[in-house]
Chains A and B, each alone.
Chain A
Amino acid sequence: MSIENQTFTEKYDLLGCIQCGRCTGGCPVTVRAELNVRHFVDQAYDEGKLDELARLAEIWDCTACHTCAVRCPKGLKPLEVLIGLRSMIVESGKVEPTVRDALQSVLLEGNPWEKARAARTDWMEGLDVKVAEEGQEVENLIFTCCTIAYDPRVQVVAKNMVKLLNQAGIDYAFLPEDESCCGSEVFTIGEEGLFEMLVEDNTEYLNNFNAGRIVTLSPHCYTTYKTHFPDIRIPLYHYTQLLDELVQEGSLSWKGELQKKIVYHDPCYLGKQGGIYDEPRRLLKSIPGVELLEFDRRRERSLCCEGGGGKMWIESQSTEERLADTRIKDARELGADIVAAACPFCVLTLEDAMKGLGYEEEMRVAEITELLGELIEA
C-alpha cells in the first residue's frame, strides 16, 4: 500500500493506542486550554467524525512541544493527529488570516515573517562575516533561521555568533540570502504540501554545499531537519554543541565575568526533542561569576513556553495564566537575575511574559549567545 492511500487511522497508527492517558497527562496546555489530545486519538478512529473534530478550536492550542510523543509508551505521536486535523482546515482555506499570510510568505519569500528574501541577510551589515558560496568547502555551515534573520529582538543571536566564531578562529560560513525556512512551523500548522516542497528543496539546497556539518542557530530548525529531512547528508548540530566544543578545547574564553544568578530554561525542541541538555548548561557554567540555578521543572520535565506549533500566529482564547508567565514567576521565586534560553521563540515569549508581569527592572531574559557575545567584547 502506498503512503498516499493510508487512512487517517493507519497514518497515525491510531490502533496502537492503549488509551493510557500519558499524552494528555503530560500535555502542558491542559492547565489553560480545553485540549485533550488522547480524546482526539480515540475519536479520530471514526473517519466520519474527522470533519467535526477538525472544526474544534482547541486543535490550535497545541504548541507542538512533543511531550505527548516523548511519553507515549507505544511510539505514537499524538500531536501529529492534531496536525493532521489542522491540515484539513488549511486545505479548505479556512485558517486565520495571520496564518494564511505566514504560509504565503514562506512560499513566496522563504520565511513566515512576510519579509523580502532580499532582506534576509541585512543583519550582516557592518559585520566581518563569512558567507558561503555554493560548492565551497567549509567545516561549519551556519543555518541562521528566519526568526533570527528578521526579528530585531533576536538578530543578536546571529550577530554574536559571528563574533564568537571569528574569535574562535574556526572555519565557518553563514548561508547566503537564498537560505529558506526549515518548515518547522509550516509542518505543525499542517500545510503538508508546502512542507513537502520545503523538504525536497532544502535537502537539495543544503546537500549542494561541501560542508563538514550544518550548525543551526534555532533548535526548531535543528530538530525539524533531524526528524523530517532524512536525506540531508551533512551531520546536523545545534550551536550550543559547537560552542561547548570550542570552550572545552580552549578555543573560546571569556573576558571579564558575570556576577549573576542564571536559570536555564530547556527549550522543548532542544531538550525533549533534541536530547540536548548538558551543552547549554556547560556553556553558562563556563562564564566566570555565574551561579547556575535550576528550575524544579527542568530537562525532561521542562515546561513549554508556548512559542511553537504555529502559536506565533494563532492567539489562544484562554484567559488562564500563560505558561511563559508561570515560568517567569518560578524564575523570580528562585531569585534568578537572568532567564537564559537557547531558542529564539523561547526568548520572545519569555521576555513578553516578563514585561507583562512588570519584572523588567529586576530580571532579564537572554539568549545564551547574547551573554557570551558580551563577554568577548568586554
Chain B
Amino acid sequence: MSEKPKVGVYVCHCGINIASTVDVEEIASFARDLPNVEVARTYSYMCSDPGQNLIKEDIREHGLNRVIVASCSPRMHEPTFRKTIQEAGVNPYFLEMANIREQCSWVHDDLEVATPKAKKLVAASVAKVRLLEALEETEVDAEPATLVIGAGIAGIQAALDIADAGFKVYLVEKTPSVGGRMAQLDKTFPTLDCSACILTPKMVDCAGHPNIELMTYSEVEEIGGYIGNFDVKVRKKARYVDFDKCTGCGDCANECRVKDRFPNEFDQGMGKRSAVYLPFPQAVPAKYTIDPEQCLYLTKGKCGKAPKCQEVCGVGAIDFEQEDEFVEFKVGAVIVATGFDPFDPSKKPEYGYDDYPNVITGMEMERLVSASGPTGGKITINNGEEEIEPKEVAFIKCVGSRDESVGNEYCSRVCCMYTAKQAHLVREKLPDANIRIYYMDVRAFGKGYEEFYDRVRRENVRYIRGNPSEIFKRGNKLVVKAENTLTSTPVEDEVDLVVLGVGMEPRKEMRDIMDLLRLSQSQDRFFLEAHPKLAPVDTATDGVFLAGCCQGPKDIPDTVAQAKGAASSAMIPLARGKVTISAQVAEVNEATCRGCGFCVEICPYSAIEMVTVNRFGYEIEVARVNEALCKGCGSCSAACLSDSIQPKSFRDWQILPQIAALGAMK
C-alpha cells in the first residue's frame, strides 16, 4: 500500500444494454472528479479486444495501479478483466467491478433513475478499490484419478473416456450391475438400434479396463477434501457371494427355496426373480448377489436344513459370513452421474395405474416388448379378467411432465420420442392393432426425430390432440376420457391397453449426494449446474461435474455428449497435475481468535478447522482456513464475534467505506 492509488474507471455501454438506460458519458465525467481517479472512459464493449487493450494502454501510459470496470456482474467478466490487468503488470486483485447492468440498467427503465444509481455504484467501487490488497494465487498437486458415481450410460461413457486418456477411474454403482436405465430399454429412437446391443460392449469394456476400478453394489459414504485432492470412502455392500469364486452359472438362483418369488427390479416388477439373483442376463459383472431382505437364511436364520444355494454352488462361492467392506482412496475430480427416477403415475390417480393391470408405464412397456423381458417380447396383457393380446392400444404423453398439479413444470424431453418408438414396435408386433397417441404437442427436436415421427404416423398410428383426463372401466375395456381438441369433441375411447408416457423425476435419494458434495438443486429439483449455458457440466463445487439425467431430463445422445463433456472437464486438473487455489479466501487473525468455533459450524464448505497453537507457553485453540476449500463467501466473517476471520478483498475496512459511499450520495 506504499504507492499512491492511481485509478482508471471504464464504463461499458454493453451495446444498448447499459447505454439505453444509463448516461454512460455522464458516469465517466462524474468518475473523473472522484479521488485518486486518473482516467475515466466509456467504450461500447469493454470485454472486446479493443476494450481490453484500452485498459492495458492506460496502465502503461498513466501508470494506473487500480482498475474499475463499470459493466456487468463480476460472475460474468471479473476473470476476464483480472487477466487483462495482470497482462499489463498489475496484480489481478486490484480490480473492482461496478455492476451497472444486472443491478442497474436491466432493472430500471428510466434514465433519470438509473444514471444517479450507476454513479453511486461507481463511487462505491472507487472507495473500495483504493483499499484492496495484492493477493497471490497458489497451486497444489492434483491426484490423477476420478471418481464416477453411477454406472448408467453417462457414468460408463465418462469413465471410459477418462480411462482411455490414461487416468485412473473409480466407478461406483449402487446396484449389482452396471448399465442403468439404458440397459432396460428395448430399442432406441430414432435409429431403432437394439439398446442392449450398443450398450453391452461398453459395459464389458468398463469392467475389463485396466484403468477402471469398478465397484458395483457399492455406495459412496464420505467425500472430503477439495478439487485435486478429494478423499473418498466407499461402502462395498456384502453380496454374500464370493466375487472371485462366482462363475455366474446361476445354479444358486435355480435352486433357491424362494425361487422366482420377488418382483425383478430390472423388469420393472413385471418379471420375478429369486432371493439370489443376477439382475439380467447381460449383467456386468456376471456375479450373483443375495438380497438380504428376501433371503430366508439371512432374514430368518434358517433355510430348510441348509441353504440350497450353498449346497449346489460348485465353487463354494456362497458366503453368509460376508460383511460390508470399506475402501478409501484419493481422486482429483468427481463426476456425478446418478440418473433419474421415472415419474410414479400413482401420483396421478385419475389414470387408475394402481387399479388396472392394463394401464402400464413406458418403462414397463420397454420390458414388455423386449425379447429378454418377462413375456419374451410378446405383447400380452391382463385386462383384469384374462390375458389378452391388445387390439386397441392408447398412449398418453406428458404424464408427470409439464404438469404443475404434480409439481413438474418441465418437459421430460424423451416421452414424445419413446412413445413414437413404442407405437412403432407395437405396430411391428401387432399389425392389426388400432394405435393412438394422445398428445398436447409433439416435440421432435433431435437429429432424425421429426423424420421418425413422420414415419410412425404413416405406419397408421393416430395422433389425437388432447391430454386425457381420466381412465375408468366399462365391461372389460378401459375408457380413456379425453377431448379431441382439434375438433372440440369430447371422447370416451374404449381400449385394451394404456401406456402412460411417464416423464423423468430427480432421484428420491439425491439429497444424499447433495450433502456429500455440497451440490444444489435447480428449480426443477435436478442438480444445478454452474451456468446453464457456459458451464453446463460444472457445479458450484470445484472439481465436481455432472453427467446425464441427474442434471435434467435427457435422451441418450445428449447424455453421452454431456458425459464426454464432464469427462473432458474432469481431466483438466488431472492433465495439468496441479490446481490453482483462489487467493480470495478467508483469513484468521490468530492473535484475536477466541477459539469459539462458530465459523467451523457455519462454513458451508467445511473449510475451517480448529487447530491447537502454542501461545507464550499456553496451548490454545484457534480457527484455521483450508484455502483450497474456502470459497470466500464470508459466512464465517458474519458469524465471528471478534472480527477475527475475514475474507480477503472483503475485509471490514475495505467494504465499510464502500457501503458508506453508497449511502453518502443523494
Contact of B349 with A25 in the complex, beta carbons under 8 Å: no
CA–CA, A54 and B642, complex, Å: 70
Residues in A whose Cβ lies below 8 Å from that of B350? 26, 71, 300-301
Contact of A21 with B465 in the complex, beta carbons under 8 Å: yes
Contact of B488 with A25 in the complex, beta carbons under 8 Å: no
Residues in A whose Cβ lies below 8 Å from that of B468? 22, 25
- A341 interface residue, CB < 8 Å from B? no
- From A3-11, A30-38, A140-148, A174-182, the one touching the partner chain is A30-38
Known: A26-B350, A31-B490. A21 touches B472 (CB 8 A): no
Contact of A20 with B472 in the complex, beta carbons under 8 Å: no
Q: Which of B222-256 contact A (CB under 8 A)?
A: none
A16 nearest CB neighbor, chain B only: B404
Interface size class of A (residues with CB under 8 A): 20 to 34
- A285 interface residue, CB < 8 Å from B? no
Interface size class of B (residues with CB under 8 A): 20 to 34
Residues in A whose Cβ lies below 8 Å from that of B484? 21
Whole-angstrom distance from the CB of A147 to the nearest CB of chain B? 28
Q: Which of B463-485 contact A (CB under 8 A)?
A: 465-473, 481-485
Contact of B485 among A21, A31, A296, A297 (CB under 8 A): A21
Residues in A whose Cβ lies below 8 Å from that of B481? 25-26
Q: Which of A243-279 contact B (CB under 8 A)?
A: none
Contact of B469 with A31 in the complex, beta carbons under 8 Å: no
- From A72-80, A103-111, A204-212, A222-230, the one touching the partner chain is A72-80
A74 nearest CB neighbor, chain B only: B404
Q: Is the interface of A mostly helix, strand, loop or mixed?
A: helix
- B405 interface residue, CB < 8 Å from A? yes
Contact of A27 with B349 in the complex, beta carbons under 8 Å: no
CA–CA, A75 and B402, complex, Å: 11
Residues in B whose Cβ lies below 8 Å from that of A296? 355, 472-473
- B74 interface residue, CB < 8 Å from A? no
Residues in A whose Cβ lies below 8 Å from that of B465? 21
- B311 interface residue, CB < 8 Å from A? no
- A67 interface residue, CB < 8 Å from B? yes
A297 nearest CB neighbor, chain B only: B472
CA–CA, A70 and B465, complex, Å: 20
- B657 interface residue, CB < 8 Å from A? no
Known: A71-B469, A296-B473, A301-B472. A36 touches B483 (CB 8 A): yes
A76 nearest CB neighbor, chain B only: B404
Contact of B492 with A73 in the complex, beta carbons under 8 Å: no
CA–CA, A74 and B440, complex, Å: 13
Residues in B whose Cβ lies below 8 Å from that of A72? 405
- A39 interface residue, CB < 8 Å from B? yes
- A281 interface residue, CB < 8 Å from B? no
Contact of B466 among A20, A75, A299, A301 (CB under 8 A): A20
CA–CA, A25 and B469, complex, Å: 5
Which positions in B face A, CB cutoff 8 Å? 349-350, 352, 355, 398, 402-405, 440, 465-473, 481-485, 488, 490-492
Interchain residue pairs with CB less than 8 A apart (22): A20-B467, A21-B466, A21-B467, A21-B469, A21-B482, A22-B468, A24-B469, A24-B488, A24-B490, A25-B490, A26-B469, A31-B490, A36-B483, A70-B405, A71-B405, A71-B469, A72-B405, A73-B398, A296-B473, A299-B349, A300-B349, A301-B471
**Nearest 6 A/B pairs, CB to CB:** A26-B469, A25-B469, A21-B466, A30-B490, A21-B483, A24-B483
